[in-house]
Amino acid sequence: MAAVAEQQTTDEVSLYDADTDDFYQDVDLLQNHGINMADIKKLKSAGICTIRGLQMITKKKLCAIKGLSEAKVEKIKEGLMKISGSGGGFCTALQASVKRKQVFRVSTGSQELNKLLGGGLESMSITEAFGEFRTGKTQLSHTLCVTTQLAGENGYTGGKVIYIDTENTFRPDRLRPIADRYNLDQEAVLDNVLYTRAYTSDQQIELLDLVCAKLHEELGIFKLLIVDSIMALFRVDYSGRGELADRQQQLAQMLSKLQKISEEYNIAVFVTNQMTADPGASMSFQADPKKPIGGHILAHASTTRLSLRKGRGENRIAKIYDSPDLPENEATFSITGAGVDDAKD
Ligand code: GTP
Ligand code: MG
């Protein structure tokens, strides 16, 4: 009996392994199911490049793509069903655990901070770092641009980075001393970081379609997407209580896209966030009456939330604020000329 169970297990695992070769099934496959190339191009220009990506889109959204009629969308959905099979997306916990093996972790530059994060920044999920100004959010973003390029544990081979800057605080030359620290070629390191600046919140959302195109163009090459900072433009573009509902709706769109991208292309997503005084907190006995902005929408979208605060000198203290599988611990790191590092004392 035990032998049978064992046999079944290996079969299932190897079957699933074969499936993972199809991790990035191209939407071009729809051609075999009667969808013409012109319509497939329309999907791609909307940032939908893979079968997994297509599975994550509602019919309503597909119909909103210019040139796709409801009949066409119906046909696309039929083709999708044929490609993805009739399993309805179910898999066993064992299969899910095999899938989770593809998850990799990116080092933050500080061993202590890595430990706090359970090994580093996790792929297929969103990590948010929030804190007051000068707590190291942008410095950490810069460091990650380099550390992502280093090979890591569990066969992680390193990869490229996409950086969306909303505050004009990216300084490419800051990457040079960080590259030196890891004995990497400076020019090569800079060449592996794709940088773009967003000026409005609309643009920030639209950019994600272009990000999808890039990720699709060089499949499996990009490993990290940074948005520094996620809320700054939303804060400017939507002001006052009257626009709050609109803002949150747009923010939800953006975060849902980020979440999908991280799973579809197996990349880590790192976003930074600001804080604001919590008006409700003055009535309570909270030690720190400040909280990250973005409300429940952002709170639910981020898989891991990291709160940063200032320590002595160049030291910074990071605390796990919210995570599905990490305890609420703290770690101290420092900001150096060569990026985020362990604290000296
Ligand atoms: P906001 O974007 O304003 O909210 O802040 P932030 O959290 O992004 O802060 P940032 O990451 O820009 O951190 C700024 C801190 O890093 C400041 O305290 C700087 O003194 C420090 N810093 C920046 N560059 C260097 C450097 O080359 N050497 C050292 N030791 N510290 C640096
Ligand atoms: Mg910053």
| Binding site membership of 141 for ligand 1 (Cβ less than 6 Å) | no
Beta bridge partners of 194: 162
Pocket test for ligand 1, best of 138, 168, 170, 176 (most atoms within 8 A of CB): 138
| Binding site membership of 278 for ligand 1 (Cβ less than 6 Å) | no
Q: For the full predicted model, state whether its pTM sits above 0.95.
A: no
C-alpha 139 to ligand 2 mean position (Å): 7
Tell me if domain 23-90 and domain 99-277+288-342 are identical in fold. Answer: no
Check residue 289 and give its pLDDT. 63
Q: What is the mean pLDDT of the chain?
A: 87
Once rounded to an integer, what is the mean pLDDT over residues 93-120? 91
Contact call for residues 291 and 275 (beta carbons, < 8 A)? yes
| Binding site membership of 166 for ligand 1 (Cβ less than 6 Å) | no
Q: What are the extents of the domains in the chain?
A: 23-90, 99-277+288-342
Pocket test for ligand 1, best of 134, 163, 314, 317 (most atoms within 8 A of CB): 134
- Fold of domain 99-277+288-342: Rossmann fold (3.40.50)
| Binding site membership of 135 for ligand 1 (Cβ less than 6 Å) | yes
C-alpha 14 to ligand 1 mean position (Å): 48
- Which ligand 1 atom minimizes the distance to the CA of 141? 11
SS3 of residue 4 by DSSP? helix
Check residue 75 and give its pLDDT. 94
Contact call for residues 298 and 258 (beta carbons, < 8 A)? no
The pLDDT of residue 126 is above 70: yes
Phi, psi angle pair for 56, to nearest 5° = -90, 5
Judge residue 140's burial from the number of C-beta atoms within 10 Å of its C-beta, 0-12 exposed, 13-18 middle, 19 or more buried.
buried
Contact call for residues 115 and 33 (beta carbons, < 8 A)? no
Rounded to a whole number of angstroms, the distance between the first and last alpha carbons of the chain is 57
**Alpha carbon distances (Å) from 345 to 58, 110, 136, 331:** 52, 13, 18, 13
Model pLDDT for residues 331-343, shown as the tens digit of each residue: 999 999 999 999 9
The pLDDT of residue 321 is above 90: no
Check residue 339 and give its pLDDT. 97
| Binding site membership of 136 for ligand 1 (Cβ less than 6 Å) | yes
SS3 of residue 318 by DSSP? strand
Model pLDDT for residues 292-305, shown as the tens digit of each residue: 888 888 888 889 99
Band (287; pLDDT cuts 50, 70, 90): low
* Residue whose pair of structure tokens reads 């990650």 in the numeric block: 144
**How many Å is the Cα radius of gyration of the chain?**
21
SS3 of residue 268 by DSSP? strand
DSSP state of 50: B
Pocket test for ligand 1, best of 133, 139, 336 (most atoms within 8 A of CB): 139
Check residue 295 and give its pLDDT. 84
The protein residue with its alpha carbon nearest to ligand 1, atom 24, reads 337
What CATH number belongs to 23-90?
1.10.150.20
Question: What's the token pair of residue 105?
Answer: 């972790």
